[in-house]
Amino acid sequence: MRRLLYVLIFLATLGILAAFVIIGLNLRGETKLPDPPTAFNSTPELVERGRYLALAGNCAGCHSALGSAPYAGGVGIETPFGTVFASNLTPDPNAGIGSWNSDHFWRALHNGRSKDGRLLYPAFPYPNFTRVTREDSDAIFAYLRTVPPSPTPNRPHELRFPYDMQAALAVWRALSFTAGSFEPNPNKSAEWNRGAYLVEGLGHCIACHGTRNVLGATQEKLGLSGGLIAVQNWYAPSLTSNREAGVAEWAPHDVVELLKNGRSERGSVMGPMADVVYGSTQHLKEADLLAMASYLRELPSTSAAVASTTSPKRDVRVMEHGQRIFDQRCAYCHGDQGQGAVGAYPPLAGNRAVLMNSPVNLIQIVRHGGFLPTTAGNPRPYGMPPFRIVLDDSDVAAVLTYVRGSWGNDAPPVTARDMLRQ
């Protein structure tokens, strides 16, 4: 009996110590809110700067639901742990952030805490926004105070147990988050450092183009090495591999064109990246786009995963079936040799998007269609219609296997298992 008592005391002590450690780790890099609050004086120039920075961060992409008031929240962000709903950022005093001051807003971006100290879920990418400067935070806050207030209430998150508990989030943060700041590289140019700040901080590119661990945290050490966007089932390709979406061999103006117009001579964007171009990068100044290009072109090069060094075996019947579908459904736009049409339809022969080891993006595009963003430089983009109504899974797998194995392409076949994963 006494031994059991000792064990219980030991476990209780261990639990208390663990709680103190978790609390301490969650307070890393935090300071108390100043009392009185930091003096805040907004100016038209500060508001305009904040408007631009909000575009750079694509804030409206999550905080503006279709058909609702701008920045009134409500967009559901699906995760493997449930759905997180973006909050109301309008200056409404009850539903929005009208009762916040600039210190509260800075703490949300920098430390991932709400006004009341509640921990925020990292679907709001504060692990990246922690690099945003206080000056830029204040500018964004000044802008948000000028948008029309909306009384739209915040929707409660729909997370499974135990992910809906603040204690579980505290454990996650203790393991995966430390507040920090952007540290310029003194060995790089001012342009490169500006690009790094935009890509690593406001642009939060690693939120999609990074690899995540089993707890959903981005693995910073792996950088922009690509990763599957959970639940959405789009693969954000590696920005460090020339086999996928690396731009080390691109001219700077090609990178700028892609981010500005959604297409360039070297490629085009679809899926979630089309939303990013539409809502964010097309609005950026050329100097900032060139800065991002400078940074992205100098990323350390890595090799993308390759399934095999030998040519994959393909079923002749599948290839013949795929060719029949291609000739009937695809060749009119993409050409009978996969050559495409300049300025309209992308070539399929030698296309990196076709040759990537993972076929998930191709499956998504064939099933649901592929659409470039509407931009000032490309106001009437061509698009690809969805084929899910006329092609079943075996048809999609066959035509993609044919495309990935024709005209010099040598990518692995698309299997029934690949289709089931979607």
Domains of the chain: 2-176 (no CATH), 190-297 (1.10.760), 316-420 (1.10.760.10)
Residue 5 has pLDDT above 50, yes or no: no
pLDDT of 23 reads 46
What's the mean per-residue pLDDT of the chain? 90
Task: Supply the pLDDT for residue 307.
Answer: 46
**Above 70 in pLDDT, residue 332?**
yes
Question: What was the pLDDT predicted at 343?
Answer: 79
- pLDDT on residue 342: 85
> 341: which 2 tokens?
């049409």
Structure tokens at 50: 């904040």
Cα angle: 35, vertex 181, 164; to 5 degrees: 75
Structure tokens at 147: 């948008």
**Mean pLDDT value across residues 175-194:** 96
DSSP 335-377: -TTS--BTTTB---TT-HHHHSS--HHHHHHHHH-EEPPPBTT
Give the mean pLDDT of 330-359.
93
- Joined tokens for residue 167: 């204690």
Hunting for tokens 């996650």 — which residue is that? 172
**Averaged pLDDT for residues 103-124:** 96
Counting residues of the chain whose pLDDT is more than 70, the rounded percentage is 90
Question: Which contiguous run of DSSP H or E holds residue 334?
Answer: helix 331-334
- Confidence check: pLDDT of 24 > 60: no
133-158 average pLDDT score = 98
Q: What is the mean pLDDT of residues 187-204?
A: 98
What is the arithmetic mean of pLDDT over 352-367?
A: 96
Whether the predicted pLDDT of 88 surpasses 80 = yes
Q: Is the pLDDT of residue 104 over 80?
A: yes
393-404 and 316-329 helices cross at what angle (nearest 10)? 90
pLDDT of 419 strictly over 60: yes
Predicted model pTM: 0.89
pLDDT of the residue at 3: 53
Taken in order 94, 98, 103, 109, is the CA torsion positive or negative?
A: positive
pLDDT in tens, 375-415: 999 999 989 999 999 999 999 999 999 999 999 999 999 99
* 305-320: average pLDDT: 74
CA distance 183 to 100: 28
Evaluate whether 385 touches 369 at the Cβ level (below 8 Å).
yes
Both tokens of residue 193?
């450092």
* 7-11, 208-212, 218-222: which is most confident: 208-212
